[in-house]
Amino acid sequence: MPKFLTSRGDYGLLLTIFLADYSGSDPKPISEIASFFNLPQAFLEQIALDLRRAHLVSAKRGKDGGYFLTREPNRISVIEVLEAAEGPLQIVTCQGGKCVSSPKCMTHDFWLVLQKHIHKTLREITLADLVKQSPHKLLPLSVKNERKNS
């Protein structure tokens, strides 16, 4: 089965959710986060650097140093984190460049619309939502729409 995200996006999201859960407390060292999730520390450090470049996290040096979020968790969207770690998200590879089937591609518009819906959903979900595990916000499909399609 093809993957929508790579480990970079997944681990970046885990890192920022961990920091969101401890928002307001002392900065957290990468070693602690890597140990908590059983992730490779060196890879997590690379991802943290990407998140720093995107101004989503910052770091404090020294004995009590570590990483912390630059904004409140309810002001950082999932799409920001994923795109900082992964780059622009694309459902299919042709969205980033030339489509090999163009102009005859019959699925181009479908993928484009689906990508817009996914992007919009991930923009609405924040780190605070993931910490709270608010399922109604994580999957904003109404029960009415599910009944119509059944």
85-129 pLDDT tens trace? 998 888 776 665 666 666 667 887 888 888 888 889 899 889 998
Distance (Å) of CA 19 to CA 14, 59, 106? 9, 12, 43
pTM over 0.85: no
Cα dihedral 118, 126, 48, 52 sign: positive
Side chain identity, residue 4: F
- Tell me which residue of 55, 54, 56, 53 sits closest to 15, measured CA to CA: 56
Q: What percent of the chain has pLDDT over 70?
A: 79
Q: Domains in the chain, ordered, with CATH?
A: 7-142 (1.10.10.10)
In the predicted structure, residue 134 carries a pLDDT above the cut 80: no
